Amino acid sequence: MTPTQTETSPPSRESSESFPAAPPHHDKPRKFRQIMLKAVMVLIVVAGCVIGIHFYLHARGHESTDDAYIAGHIIAISPRVATHVAKVHVDDNEWVKAGDLLVELAPEDFAARLGAAQAALEAAQATFQSSRIDVDLTTVTATSANDEAGANVETARALLETAQALAAASASQRDQARAQIESATAALAQAEAEVDAAKAQQQRDALDLGRNRKLAGSGAVSQQELDHALASERMSSANLAAAEKKVQTQRAMVRQAEASLKAAEDNMRQAGAQVSARKAQLGESQARLKGARTATQQVAKSQSQTKVTQAEIDKARAEVEQARLNLSYTRIYAPTDGFVTAKAVKPGSYVQVGQSLLAIVPHELWVVANFKETQLTRMRPGQPVTITVDAYPGVPFSGHVDSVQHGTGAAFSLLPPENATGNFVKVVQRVPVKIAFDPSGQSQRYLLVPGMSVVPEVNIAAPARQAGDRLNAQVVPNLATPVRERAWPSVGAGKAVSR
């Protein structure tokens, strides 16, 4: 047993009976340690109270959230005309200035359209000059045209009367031809009847002659009777031949009458066509006379035509301007300073109107913090904010409250909640708050990009700045330095690393 163990261990009963009690000064270290322990505990309690009060007071005067991110203007660059890409002058993450040429599109088609539009404009201008000349000519020739039209009307009337007389004569000839046809047809019918009678007489005389010849051989008929029968047969044959010739003559007369009728009808049709032509000529002459008498209306018409051509000139000029604009759209320039991001265009590819080619991210950044509605009680624009970026732990960024959105995030969602259905469940809403970076702070030394996660802490106990004292967003440092050569400080080491 060590001396220490002997001193610290409680004395046994036997030892207490054999030895006398220890002197009082052996309990002093134990009492001292107890006093020190109590003092330390008191100090710990006091320090805990001080720290707790400090954090309590700090929590009462500050509001923070981890539902926050860095936002900025992301300008999408898209073509305004559809064509092939000729050249691309920028690359990803490259710094460009406002007015720098980004992309060149194939300009050939648009140059040809511009030339066609200019040619159409020149043609419209030439038409306008011609219409002005027509107005002068119409004014000068209106009187002479009126006189000439009157003379043409009188001539057309005379020709119409002559054609009508010829038509009447042709109609008379047609009627005469029809009468001749009727007479010749009747005579033909009579001649054909005579032929039939002559045929019957000739056949009867031929039969009588045959019988008399047979009887004359037997002596029953005298020679005189035989000669009489022969003469009768010859006479009837002659009458038959004469009747047949008469039929042929009458048929020829019928054909002649029909030819005369056809000729008369042809003449009548020609005369009718001539009458129609003369009437049309008379109507045209009268229309010309009427038009010539309306010289004032013709002049007004020519003047209105001049106005139409002037409108065509304006239209052609608008088309030229549109073609010139389309040609200018083949060169796409940077609208503002910023970094090129999301480049999705290559030379030779075909692009459509509105297709995203690339995006430009300016240096103007801010923080969008979605605070709970219960945290906005004392939050005002202009209050200072301490911002912690997840990418740079331990590095504070200074800012201030710029504005508070007039509406919760749920109110502007695609499907806002409908609380009138009866199944409402109260949920603490979040309201976006815009926080601007102060220009004089760490935001100038570190790389900040839209989308980074941050934790802002708003000092709601501090007085708000005036509206005129609001600071703009982040100021870009040393913009003349190329982006790829610009150095950004590393976190922790404190040394610059190449971007």
Judge whether 408 lies within some domain. yes
In CATH, what number is assigned to the domain containing residue 334?
2.40.50.100
What are the pLDDT digits (tens) for 289-298? 776 666 667 7
Contact 184, 250 (CB under 8 A): yes
Lowest pLDDT segment from 106-110, 149-153, 473-477 = 473-477
CB atoms within 10 A of CB 141: 14
Residue 482 pLDDT class (50, 70, 90 cuts): very low
Judge whether 312 lies within some domain. no
Q: How far apart are CA 450 and CA 474, in angstroms?
A: 12
In CATH, what number is assigned to the domain containing residue 368?
2.40.30.170
What was the pLDDT predicted at 410? 83
Beta strands in 342-453 (DSSP E): 350-351, 358-361, 365-372, 384-389, 396-404, 430-437
Same structural domain for residues 191 and 206? Answer: yes
Same structural domain for residues 246 and 375? Answer: no
What was the pLDDT predicted at 225? 75
Same structural domain for residues 151 and 296? Answer: yes
Scored b (16 or more CB within 10 A) or e, 468-480 reads eeebebbbeeeee
Same structural domain for residues 387 and 303? Answer: no
Mean pLDDT to the nearest integer, 12-16: 45
Same structural domain for residues 352 and 457? Answer: no
Same structural domain for residues 153 and 78? Answer: no
Q: How far apart are CA 333 and CA 80, in angstroms?
A: 12
Q: Is the per-residue pLDDT at 439 higher than 70?
A: yes
Query: Given 361, 381, 405, which residue is the final one in a domain?
Result: 361
Mean pLDDT to the nearest integer, 261-279: 79
Q: Quote the distance between the C-alpha of residue 440 and its chain's center.
A: 50
Judge whether 316 lies within some domain. no
Q: Is the per-residue pLDDT at 44 higher than 80?
A: yes
H-run or E-run covering 64: strand 62-64
Judge whether 378 lies within some domain. yes
Same structural domain for residues 270 and 349? Answer: no
Same structural domain for residues 115 and 229? Answer: yes
What are the pLDDT digits (tens) for 450-479? 999 999 999 988 887 654 444 333 333 333
What was the pLDDT predicted at 142? 64
Q: How far apart are CA 117 and CA 294, in angstroms?
A: 38
Same structural domain for residues 164 and 296? Answer: yes
What was the pLDDT predicted at 3? 42
Q: Is the per-residue pLDDT at 273 higher than 60?
A: yes
Judge whether 58 lies within some domain. no
Q: Is the per-residue pLDDT at 108 higher than 90?
A: yes
What was the pLDDT predicted at 189? 83
For the chain, give the percent of residues with pLDDT over 90.
Answer: 34
Mean pLDDT to the nearest integer, 309-325: 93
Amino acid at site 197: A
Task: Provide the residue range defining the domain that includes 343.
Answer: 67-105+330-361
Same structural domain for residues 437 and 475? Answer: yes
What are the pLDDT digits (tens) for 64-99? 999 999 999 999 999 999 999 999 999 999 999 999
What was the pLDDT predicted at 179? 83
DSSP state of 382: T
Same structural domain for residues 225 and 284? Answer: yes
Contact 384, 462 (CB under 8 A): yes
Q: How far apart are CA 285 and CA 277, in angstroms?
A: 12
Mean pLDDT to the nearest integer, 201-227: 75
What was the pLDDT predicted at 116? 95
Contact 82, 110 (CB under 8 A): no
Residue 54 pLDDT class (50, 70, 90 cuts): low
Judge whether 14 lies within some domain. yes
Q: Is the per-residue pLDDT at 390 higher than 60?
A: yes
Q: How high does pLDDT run on average in the chain?
A: 79
* Number of domains the chain is built from: 4
What was the pLDDT predicted at 345? 94
Judge whether 313 lies within some domain. no
Same structural domain for residues 47 and 83? Answer: no
In CATH, what number is assigned to the domain containing residue 131?
1.10.287.620
Which residue bears the tokens 């991210």? 361
Judge whether 321 lies within some domain. no
What was the pLDDT predicted at 265? 77
Nearest to 56 by CA among 395, 462, 461: 461
